[in-house]
Amino acid sequence: MIPELNPRQRAWVEVSPVAIRANARALCQHLGPRTQLMAVVKADGYGHGAETVARAALQGGATSLGVATLQEGLELRRAGLEAPVLLLSNLNETDDLRTCLHWRLMPTLSSLRDAQLCNELAANSGRRFDVQLKIDTGMARLGCSLSDSHQTAAGLQNLEHLNLAGIYSHLACADEPDDALTSLQQERFVSMLSALPQAGSNITRHLANSAGTLLNRELHHDLVRVGLALYGHAPASHLSNVIPLQPALAVRARVSLIRVVPAGTGVSYGHRFITQRPTRLAVVGIGYADGVLRSLSGHIHALHRNRQLPQVGAITMDQLLLDATDAAELEQGDIVTLLGQDGDLELSPQSWSNHCGSIPWEILCGFKRRLPRVEV
């Protein structure tokens, strides 16, 4: 009988639902009693696994879920999740909107034209269509213009077969200290909301992302949309101590080979690293095809038994090398930590992004499906 493949055979991502639940609870405690938490689980739950994160976040107090694509929404529904789901991007095709209606997914609307199409689909189906309207208050991305917002909202509310479940906008610079735009966006959003007719009193209003949620309670409104903080990371250093957060992800891999080479040996593609002494190299089965960016070559470490092991040479598609000269205890088959905690040491997505001109969001979203997700 052929044994099942061990998910920890080569390299894998460990995900802690316990940490996700704890972060959701900490966020809910930070919010006022009238503000709800939306767990943003797009991009496969920021690389953690959308279904796992969604279930843990709902258990921790979240009341709704946010995704970016129709496929992401369908995957949640097919997994049996029944919480409200908002698609945070625009849909324009009739069949896509019909699919939203069938699976009870809320599309984001940026124009009255899109709203009228949704109304026609709902009329033909015999059921009301929950939708949300996005307003551009300063991001210059999705959403109807501020000058058209009152007319669009009023027109949408007059469409018989639609239920305007929410009106929202998105903060552009809330993670930057002493930013003036966030206050201006809040002012624009509140001004727009104040002009809504009384019939709009049941509409959920939301503006804050993770940064806005941690920055200022005045940005909370009826709901906050939290991504990065849900996964245990503050979006900026000046927001890192607002609430306790637990990182929910670790990346680990096995040593596939140990080899000893003399001084003067070129290592990996291009020989960008030349050994300066007899060197004990550990070959580790993870590379840029898994999400360990090639631009990190020579800049990161791995952890083993509370010791840092420098990565040397170019990171390749499927493998990388560590200098294990000072770690005589490291052997073939041992597990090293690329991100996460080992003893008293911890490596964060921020530490990687600092080295490659990126952001923690991109690091977390970059771990590919060929890395098994293992719940711990």
Query: Could you list the active site residues?
Result: 42, 269
**CB of 106 within 8 A of CB of 165?**
yes
Contacts of residue 361, defined as CB under 8 A and 6 or more positions apart, other chains included, come to: 46, 227, 228
Q: How far apart are CA 370 and CA 200, in angstroms?
A: 46
Q: Tokens in use for 353?
A: 């992004």
CB 172 within 8 A of CB 185: yes
> Which residues does residue 15 pair with via DSSP β-bridges, in sequence order?
249, 375
Distance between CA 80 and CA 205 in Å, rounded? 27
Please name every residue paired with 224 in a beta bridge, in sequence order, or none if there are none.
37
Task: List Cα–Cα distances, 130 to 73, 161, 194, 225, in angstroms.
Answer: 14, 9, 22, 18
Q: Exposure pattern of 197-206 as b/e (b: 16+ CB <10 Å)?
A: eeebeebbbb
Burial degree of 124 (CB within 10 A; 0-12, 13-18, 19+): exposed
3-state secondary structure of 338: strand
